Chains A and B, each alone.
Chain A
Amino acid sequence: MDKGTPLVEMRDISIAFGGIKAVDHVTVDLYPGEVVGLLGHNGAGKSTLIKCLSGAYRADSGQILINGQPVEIANPRDAREHNIETIYQTLALADNLTAAQNLFLGRELVNARGFLDESAMEAETRKIMGRLNPNFRKFNVPVSALSGGQRQSVAIARAVYFNAKILIMDEPTAALGPHETQMVAELIQELKTQGLGIFLIEHDIHSVMKLCDRASVMKNGQLVGTVKVDEVTDEDILGMIILGKKPAKAA
């Protein structure tokens, strides 16, 4: 069962806000070509945990290893340099900017004179959106004028465009219709075969069973356990989420 070095290892991560231990000594890992589901009730600490990997927060203690090497991720820029891309639960879009301006925010394309190359950015955005959401037409309006699902597809496009090796998706289909959800499922499968490692935070247990290889369950900031999805039933996982108990056979 040895799969070699994990792509990402988060070891013994803890972070507290004031008195609240949002993440309490949690260890998770992720291999190339693998989708690991992060599950847990609302407020379990899932988003906080992955924000330590995406550079939004700094863990109070613990270690992050990428390809076996310990790394410092002090800010979102560091994470991007390690090819970590994130779709945040809040989407993290600037409402007053267009889809293209959001997609390239912080990594704008510039021309030879160092000025923004808007048309090149718009053209690239049209290409990637054509793949992800062919019905998308609103290229010249601020994203505040987009529907929740359209905004979500912009956030997904931004994470996928820059050739991530490690992809973090925090409830990526929360605002999507059935057809778009299906497209994201296909996208996840496709990225997986390309060898990306994906952390997927998802509340819908059926999507987890369908898309994930393993599932790590959190409760009150602590890790309940990590299971291989095809070795357990959905009831087992629900039991872990609700009761915080690891199923006997996977222990």
Chain B
Amino acid sequence: MTTAPGNRHPSQDANGLFARFIAATEIDTRLLGMIGALVLIWLGFQFYGEIVKGDGFFLTPRNLWNLSVQMCSIGVMATGMVLVIVTRNIDLSVGSMLGFIGMLMGLLQVEWLPPHLGLGHPAIWIITVIVGLCLGALMGTLNGLLIAFLEIPSFIVTLGGLMFWRGGAFLLANGRTISPVDSTFALIGGGPYGAIGSTGSWVIGLVACAAVIFGLVAGRANRRKHDFPQRPVWAEVVLAVLGCGLIIGAVLVVDAYPWPKGIVAKYIADNGLTVDPATLFIAHGFAYPVLILTTVAILMTILMTKTRFGRYVFAIGGNPEAAALSGINVKWMTVKIFALMGTLAGLSAVISSARLTSATNALGQTDELYVIAAAVIGGTSLAGGVGTIYGAVLGALVMESLRTGMVLIGFDTAIQSMVVGGVLVVAVYLDIVYRKRIK
């Protein structure tokens, strides 16, 4: 605000109003930018469908539900990539780690465990998931040790990992596709049975709304206690309405997507009901992987903003030397961060192989690029020190929207990869422009 209040141009007033709204609600302008981009992409695909194909396929409950499931694998890994990039490192090996872990879990549950435990034994999926997560942690720890203690640049270590684990995945099963995975395990990937249904979704939605309101009230009370400046009440109300509105909107969307007729008929037969399958509407509700991603995102946000660990991650990114002089063990932090990244790659391996109900050689291929793109589009600075978890999750949604949208309108993979590559470069450029402007 450099102009005096008396001689303002009307357009400046409008500008001022928006600026005041942003200042009062403390909404991150970059978050608004990302939501803007997302809306553009969604509307773009929708109109393309309506005009060219005569059918707006994008903004349908069915597509949005699928989108929510498909973004989970990338989204989970993107939350970890934020920590890696914030500390001025990179992990190019996540896609291959995912592939290797997915293949090993496939063999474990399809070929190695059933002869001992019996097919469909309830312990199979549990053992498989635990092994997958632990293997991811180990692989990540190996990355971290090489980077921190042998001081090999992370770019090289994980580029090596990208090739090594992809080759390893092939060797594990000699290129075979392993399927079908354990039926309980498959639920983790979503699908009609891998979702919590209408009632569950409403319960979760209302609990989330309550949490949003509680968070705003508690934050306000805390600021008052310490005599810190408060947001105006109207801004708090706007935030509460926006937050709850988004949550309830999501519940309405996932509850508007019914089970396919075939599954409904089978469900009726299995439960000995006497309803007409054509009239029975069973909603999907939130899919399990979406709940997993949400949980991961919440835990990672707490880790990054409320714990010493998260503070040290940012400090290392801002100034590694200052962090070390403050008594932070930068090397062990690096190992822990890569171990966490590996664990999340393990979790993503669970989600994506469960979704495919098989482990293939291509599992996770080029995922590293989507994950890095998601983190960067979400505002994680490659210069280090800056990044948010919610940004990375939104970034994953943007990337996945592009991918599914292009598949739906029939772009072939060559064009898809050109678009994704272009988007990545443009996103980093916009990030640079944005950072220069706020300085």
Q: Please report A residues at the B interface, Cβ cutoff 8 Å.
A: 54, 56, 75-77, 80, 86, 88, 90-97, 101-102, 105-108, 110, 114-116, 119-120, 122-123, 142
Q: With A and B bound together, what is the CA distance between A80 and B325 in angstroms?
A: 10
Q: How far is the CB of A123 from chain B (nearest CB, A)?
A: 5
From A54, A76, A94, A120, contact of B315 by CB (8 A): A94
Q: With A and B bound together, what is the CA distance between A54 and B322 in angstroms?
A: 13
Q: Is the CB of A116 within 8 A of B315?
A: no
Given contacts A95-B318, A122-B226, A123-B226, contact A110 B325 (CB under 8 A): no
Q: Is the CB of B327 within 8 A of A94?
A: no
Chain B residues within 8 Å of A77, by CB:
327
Q: Please report B residues at the A interface, Cβ cutoff 8 Å.
A: 222-223, 225-226, 228, 302, 305-308, 311, 314-315, 317-319, 321-328, 385-386
Q: Is the CB of B228 within 8 A of A122?
A: yes
Chain A residues within 8 Å of B322, by CB:
91-94, 102, 105
Q: Is the CB of B307 within 8 A of A114?
A: yes
Q: With A and B bound together, what is the CA distance between A142 and B317 in angstroms?
A: 13
Given contacts A116-B306, A119-B223, A119-B225, contact A96 B324 (CB under 8 A): no
From A76, A90, A110, A119, contact of B324 by CB (8 A): A76
Given contacts A76-B327, A94-B314, contact A116 B222 (CB under 8 A): no
Q: How far is the CB of A112 from chain B (nearest CB, A)?
A: 13
Main secondary structure of the interface of A (DSSP, over half): loop
Q: How far is the CB of A140 from chain B (nearest CB, A)?
A: 9
Question: Which residue of B is nearest A80, CB measured?
Answer: B327
Q: Is the CB of A92 within 8 A of B228?
A: no
The 5 closest A-B pairs by CB, nearest first: A94-B318, A106-B326, A96-B318, A96-B385, A77-B327
Q: 9 A–B contact pairs at CB < 8 A?
A: A56-B324, A94-B317, A94-B318, A94-B385, A97-B311, A97-B315, A102-B322, A116-B308, A120-B226
Question: Which residue of B is nearest A51, CB measured?
Answer: B325
Q: Is the CB of B325 within 8 A of A56?
A: yes
From B226, B302, B326, B386, contact of A96 by CB (8 A): B386
Q: How far is the CB of B61 from chain A (nearest CB, A)?
A: 38
Chain B residues within 8 Å of A88, by CB:
325
Chain B residues within 8 Å of A116, by CB:
305-308, 311
Given contacts A92-B319, A110-B308, A119-B228, contact A97 B314 (CB under 8 A): yes
Question: Which residue of A is nearest B326, CB measured?
Answer: A106
